[in-house]
Amino acid sequence: MISHQPPATEPVASNKDDRVAVLLAGYGEVQSYRDLSSYNQAATKYIASQFVAIPKWLYPLAGWLLALQDWYNFGVKHHHFMSPENEMFEKQRLGIEEQLQTRWGNRVQVFKGFYFCEPFVQKVVADIIEQGFENLLIYPLLVVDSAFTGKIAVEQVNEVIAATATQNEPQHSPFKTIRYIPAFATEPTYIDLLVCQIKEALNLSLANGFFESQIGIILTVHGGPEKAKGLLTGVIDGQALYDRVSAQLQHEYPLVSIGWINHDTPFVNWSQPNLKQAAKNLIESGAQAIMFKPLGWVTENFETILDVEDAIKSLQRQYPTVTYTRLDCVNDDPEFLQIAAEWANPQIEAMLSVSQRNQYVETSGA
The DSSP string of 324-351 is EEE----TT-HHHHHHHHHHHHHHHHHH
Say if residue 8's pLDDT is above 50.
no
CA 51 to chain CA mean position, Å: 20
The beta strand positions in the chain, using DSSP E, are: 20-26, 108-114, 135-140, 177-180, 215-222, 256-261, 289-294, 323-326
Specify which residues 136 forms β-bridges with: 21, 178
For residue 229, give the H/E element and its range. none
Q: Is the CB of residue 70 less than 8 Å from the CB of residue 315?
A: no
Mean pLDDT lowest for which of 52-66, 289-303, 317-331?
52-66
Mean pLDDT lowest for which of 176-190, 268-282, 346-360?
346-360
Q: Between these two residues, 235 and 261, which has the higher pLDDT value?
A: 261
Say if residue 40's pLDDT is above 90.
no
Mean pLDDT across 303-313: 96
pLDDT bucket at 96, cuts 50 / 70 / 90: very high
| % of the chain surpassing 90 pLDDT | 61
The per-residue pLDDT of the chain, averaged, comes to 87
- Whole-number pLDDT of residue 304: 95
pLDDT digits (tens, 9 = 90+) for 206-217: 767 899 999 999
Q: Side-chain half-sphere of 151: how many Cα atoms within 13 Å?
A: 11
Specify which residues 167 forms β-bridges with: none
CA distance 114 to 46: 13
Q: Between these two residues, 305 and 15, which has the higher pLDDT value?
A: 305
Indicate the residue type of 160. V
CA distance 315 to 313: 5
Mean pLDDT across 71-92: 93
Residue 121 DSSP label? H
Task: Please say whether the dihedral angle defined by the alpha carbons of residues 213, 219, 220 and 224, taken in this order, is positive or negative.
Answer: negative
The predicted model scores a pTM of 0.88
Task: Please say whether the dihedral angle defined by the alpha carbons of residues 140, 143, 145 and 147, taken in this order, is positive or negative.
Answer: negative
Q: Between these two residues, 23 and 269, which has the higher pLDDT value?
A: 23
Angle at CA of residue 116, ends 113 and 123, nearest 5°: 45
Say if residue 170's pLDDT is above 70.
no
The torsion of the CA quartet 138, 260, 307, 85, rounded to 10 degrees, works out to -10
